[in-house]
Structure 1
Amino acid sequence: MLGPRHPVFAAATVTSSSATVTARGADLDADFEIGSISKGITGLLYADAKARGEISRDPTLGELLPLGDVPAAAVPLESISTHRSGLPGLPKSAHPLRRTVALWRHGTNPYGETLEQLLAQARGVEVGKPRARYSNFGFELLGHAIAGAAGMTFAELVRDRLADPLGLGCFYLPATTDELRATALTGRTKRGAPRQPWTGEALGPAGGIRSCIHDMAKLTATLLAGSAPGAAALDPVAPFGRGARIGAGWVTTDVGGRTITWHNGGTGGFRSWLGLDRTASTGVVILSATSVSVDRHGFALLTDHTTKTSG
């Protein structure tokens, strides 16, 4: 399925009645960084918090986080969930260029802030005009805001609202490398150079979740069934780029006449993709421990499987 550029990967094909998982170069219980699929998880928890009545229809960051009277405090959560908040991808105070260079040269984790450090960044950030703009920073704040509304940390929120109810035993958010499971894989570049794990309390809602393929398959099954907490997050509510729409973090695109709801992920040494054909009740997950995109493979596998099934 994946070629030699992905020597370590796991994949799952899920339907309403079955799930097939496979792996190469790793055991099926090995955990990968799922990267920005974490934003999709945050979207689910955001929709779930609204359904529970824990947050109002459209609260602002300042209502849920101790930001004081700063521009970021006035940003509505709804706008963050669809990447239309005016918040930058990363704040200037985070020195994104310096972090990127350190990642390229040394494989250094470009994240790692605590929640307090994230809030300090938010208090000094400039907010631009609301428009479609992908923001890691925004989703970090979104996740911690809804966790605050529930009286939990974000890691606790993921565990209590999603992982435990769905039986996801290896679905977790390590704040430091000491919290990595024994089965945690090391991500690598396309040339095989190792990369530091992307851990950090602040990062969690935007890209800090790790999981094994079995748990991702379970999650996908509940998304297809509409039984996952906050499944309304999958429903598109706003345009997002050329020909796409977005719900709470989840992107919907027409591919070959089929409507695909998906999110991908990328960290220093990992790539991931989760896609759903909700009409055909079929989903695909790919996790790779190499920093080479798997998007094309994910779309192709999902399209191929649904074509064969419908045929």
Structure 2
Amino acid sequence: MNGVGPGGALGDRLAEAVTLIDAPDIVLAVTHRRRRTVVTGGTALAPPTPRHSLRYELGSLSKTFTVLLLAELAHSGVLSLDDRLADHLPALPLPHAASRRITLRHLATHTSGLPRIPTDLVAGALVHPYRNGYARYDTGRLLDTFARTRLRHPPGTRWRYSNFGLALLGPAMEGAAGADYPTLLTERVLRPLALTGSSLGAGTTGTEAIGHRANGRTPVPSSDMGGFRAAGAVHATPDDLLTYLEAHLFPEDTPLPGALRDVQLPLLRRGWRHRHTHTLTWYHHPAPGGPLLFHVGATFGQQAFLGYQPASGIGLLAIATRRGRTCHMVDTAYEMLYSLAGEPVH
């Protein structure tokens, strides 16, 4: 077990929480008004590069970066959240009338009516859960499949989590801004927020963490997300993720204050009896002292969690190099964040 930065009682609590997570490599960290406490551990021998210096796959946490980019483009007047997706894909024939009514806001909030993933990926995922079907699914195929897909329900009428929908934000923003998605993300989000250890896919500098299957022993290759890169292709260091959390906690101190505020506004109710709130990109739960905002992500061999409470200035990240619920990373991280909410942090 290793600690980086201030320890004290909070460091002890994080160290205890790390013992509840079953994974080869673990990073658990808290920022409280920019004072950072980082604890690492895991069942594997410590790698040559310290765990807190590795670059990790974020999976669906990448969606928060994509939607922050969308909000920034809206603030800059490049597009509107209520633009129709079809308007930014003018060369794509859409035979189904409902598909032509999907807006960029629908895609960001998982209310487009699209399924979680295209149907031609479902069978392969069930038979081969660790075979990466995304790698062979380029943007052209993504758009062709979208054109053929009938929506499960009319846009804007029901929340249904969709990697498919978020992936389409990539080509839509490219069409609106006249630049490719990696360039847009780098120039409008990563660089302004000084996220120098973050990139789409494996970076050219730094050392990538190695993910593992649910057994915690079998290594898993880095995930190529193909045409789904807007939905899950960001890699980042823990230091960058703490900086990213701090940007959301203190948006006025960044170059993107408007976009960072916009992605935190409650927009819709979801779940059983509509008990849960959702912003443009974050899950939004009540807690002592003020709401918690959080998101999770997973690839074929890694998991990540980010959460924060604006009222208290607390943010928490958790990363594990193992896929599977039995890892207990997400529930441990959420419970730690909730327990810190509204109480003094030492």
Per the TM superposition, whether the score is higher than 0.5 is yes
Q: Percent identity?
A: 24
2:296 is aligned, of 237, 243, 264, to 264
1:273 partner letter: F
**Aligned pairs, how many?**
304
TM-score when scaled to structure 2? 0.82
Which piece of structure 1 moves more, 143-152 or 55-64?
A: 143-152
Q: 1:109, 1:196 within 8 Å by CA — same for their partners in 2?
A: no
Matched, 1:219 2:244: yes
Matched, 1:70 2:95: yes
Partner of 1:79: 106
1:11 partner letter: L
Q: 2:167, 2:229 within 8 Å by CA — same for their partners in 1?
A: yes
Matched, 1:237 2:267: yes
Instruction: Point out where structure 1 has 5 or more consecutive residues left out of the alignment.
Output: none
* Deviations 1:238-261 (CA, angstroms, capped at 9, x unpaired): 112142111112110124564111
Compared CA separation, residues 259 and 74, structure 1 to 2 (3 A): same
Partner of 1:299: 334
Matched, 1:110 2:133: yes
Larger Rg: 1 or 2? Answer: 2
Partner SS, residue 331 of structure 2: helix
Q: 2:291, 2:309 within 8 Å by CA — same for their partners in 1?
A: yes
Partner of 2:24: 7
1:148 is aligned, of 175, 191, 194, to 175
Alignment root-mean-square deviation, CA: 2.1
* Deviations 1:128-187 (CA, angstroms, capped at 9, x unpaired): 21311000000000233123312222211211111111111221112xx7x665511121
Deviation, 1:115, is: 1.5
Compared CA separation, residues 183 and 310, structure 1 to 2 (3 A): closer
Deviation, 1:308, is: 4.0
Matched, 1:59 2:83: yes
Deviation, 1:296, is: 1.3
Partner of 2:123: 97
Partner of 2:14: none
Instruction: Point out where structure 2 has 5 or more consecutive residues left out of the alignment.
Output: 1-16
Partner of 1:165: 192
TM-score when scaled to structure 1? 0.90
1:253 partner letter: H
Compared CA separation, residues 182 and 217, structure 1 to 2 (3 A): closer
